[in-house]
Amino acid sequence: MNPEGLKKALESAGYTADMVDVVVLTHMHGDHIGGLMEGGVPTFPNARYVSGRVEYDAWAAMGDATFDTKMRPLADRTTMIEDGASAFSGHTAMAAFGHTPGHMVHLIESEGKSLLIAADFANHYIWSLARPDWEVKFDMDKPAAAATRKKLLDMMAIDKIPFVGYHMPWPGMGYIEPRADAYHYVPLSYQLML
Ligand SMILES: [Zn+2]
């Protein structure tokens, strides 16, 4: 999302960009880092950044224009983390490699509740869940992405953890329901939020 879109979305939720103190990155695809900077100016002036070390290093070595203009200038404000690391209270980062070399998902726990920020572990809400082993065009390491998908789907189904999936249909948040030998997306309903 571009910086203006990001700021508007935040403001409609009652926040301003200068209130953001930590930005945790899942991976370095352009649609996930494109809003970090505009014309060399950070969108979140008071933030520190957190990125998986494997992901950062892979893109730094690749020579990617979006990474070089939006992410690399923030390197000195970025903490590089590994699988299992915690960047703030209630946060656990989990390696979910495959979609990109160091793609990470983030488990948030607060007051006995959990939410998995699952990013791009699954790109299609029907087929990625019904056939987690199917290859996806956007996955850079297809076998690793499929193994990650199965592992996360198992975890979320067994532990009944709700998740945010960036390419899931509205509201982009839901549960994983086991179905026969695969899985099914159950969007979070209005009722559960009230
Ligand atoms: Zn992606």
Please report the domains of the chain, with CATH numbers, ordered by start residue.
Answer: 1-81 (no CATH), 82-194 (3.60.15.10)
pTM: predicted TM-score of the whole model, two decimal places: 0.91
- Cα(188) to ligand 1 centroid in Å equals 22
Count the Cβ atoms, other than its own, within 10 Å of residue 56.
23
The dihedral through the CA atoms of 72, 34, 6, 168 has a sign that is negative
Q: In a 10 Å sphere around its CB, with 0-12 CB exposed, 13-18 middle and 19+ buried, how is residue 96 labelled? A: buried
- Cα(101) to ligand 1 centroid in Å equals 11
pLDDT in tens, 110-141: 999 999 999 999 988 888 888 898 888 889 99
d(CA 32, CA 119): 9
pLDDT in tens, 142-176: 999 999 999 999 999 999 999 999 888 888 899 99
Question: Which has more confidence, 24 or 192?
Answer: 24
